[in-house]
Amino acid sequence: MSVYKRPGAATYSYDFRLQNRRFSGDTGKAQKREAEAVERLKRDEARAEVAEGRSLEAPDTWELAASRYWLEVGQHHVNRETTLKSLDWLTRHLGRQTRLADIDDNRVAGLVALRRADRRQVGRSDARDRQRPVSAATVNRTMTEPLRKVLLRARGVWKVKIGEVSWRKHLLKEPRERVREASLGEEAAIGGALERGYDEAVAFGFRDGCRRMEICGLVWSRVDFFGRRYTVIGKGGKARTIPMSQATFDQLFRLRGQHPEFVFTFVAQKTRKELGQVRGQRYPIQLGTLSKLIRRAAARTGVQDFHLHDTRHTAATRVLRKSNLRVVQQLLGHEDIATTTKYAHALADDIRAALDATSPTKSPTSASTDATNPLRDLGKAG
């Protein structure tokens, strides 16, 4: 980020360049984190402004391509802030004027190495401010995949020549996703430690297995009480309609009228002008805040190794025990059932428990074995 304080100034200023144009001004914020949020918004606006002015030109440099991608695709992502950060990182390390035709395997391999060397903070409360390298999944999702999407759009849609890149060689191998199922006690403990409003969202996640973007983005216009179903917008902007259980129907019906648009909301505990929040009014729950609060709730209640996405794992495992993999596939919105098979452990556990339940508690005695053995007399006759 490029926010800074001018000598004698009480608030931070921003100053950045985009496509040989300079954008600068006062954020009006005295706190650095708030100033950085303003700067991100200014970058959003700058990208859209620049890309709109050049929208009919075929972009041949990275900066032009990133700007146009943001205008056409990135700014419409549910997690648009993450997309913006990825494009900013790539712009810093690729160079604004780098030609798309020059981005080849050698260049991509270097970017992967740079991203793997990054550090991310773990636990702000830790006085030692411990850090650790980013994971392979983070490298793939925040660098390699965004770069790939921009370049493939440049070649396929904008008809621009790009370098030769074998993407499979650059995607890092990710460890198999763990499946963490919460017990009923852990679920109750976490829910009881969450702020009001956020507890409703997490209870919904435990029951219906929706992703966090689907939970935060659920709006009343997609809730059909008469048809007893609702529609969420998941990865890639794909819609998925899910039937309501009685518990889900009761919960959503109870939440009606709290907010005109969003289903899951919270009550602001204090007025925060920088966020446009007024004490006592309801606002939609936020992705980042939801993840942060569930981590804090797990820590306070002693629940080990639990994250927001584990509510989805919990719901999937519970549903699988009452149905089959196809049902879970439809619930979670997996295109390929192979993705759903990671939950098959639940079936294996249940089969093992069933076999244990049907096994005899005592080994047959030798006498009873002889009495019922049809080969006994044959052995004597021999």
Catalytic: which of 40, 96, 309, 342?
Answer: 309
Strand arrangement, sheet containing 21-26: 4-5, 12-18, 21-26
54: annotated active-site residue: no
Closest to 154 measured CA to CA, from 75, 215, 95, 68 = 68
334: annotated active-site residue: yes
**CB contact set of 115 (below 8 Å; sequence gap of 6+):** 89, 134, 138, 139, 142, 143, 144
CB 84 within 8 A of CB 42: no
**CB contact set of 269 (below 8 Å; sequence gap of 6+):** 279
Tokens 């044959």, residue located: 378
Catalytic: which of 43, 312, 313, 318?
Answer: 312
Catalytic: which of 211, 212, 313, 318?
Answer: 211
**CB contact set of 96 (below 8 Å; sequence gap of 6+):** 17, 19, 61, 62, 63
Q: Give the integer Cα–Cα distance in Å for 181 and 230.
A: 25
Catalytic: which of 235, 254, 321, 376?
Answer: 235
Q: Give the integer Cα–Cα distance in Å for 285 and 204.
A: 13
Catalytic: which of 85, 229, 282, 334?
Answer: 334
Closest to 82 measured CA to CA, from 131, 29, 17, 149 = 149
Q: Give the integer Cα–Cα distance in Å for 148 and 115.
A: 15
68: annotated active-site residue: no
Catalytic: which of 12, 14, 69, 343?
Answer: 343
93: annotated active-site residue: no
What are the residue numbers of the active site?
A: 211, 235, 309, 312, 334, 343
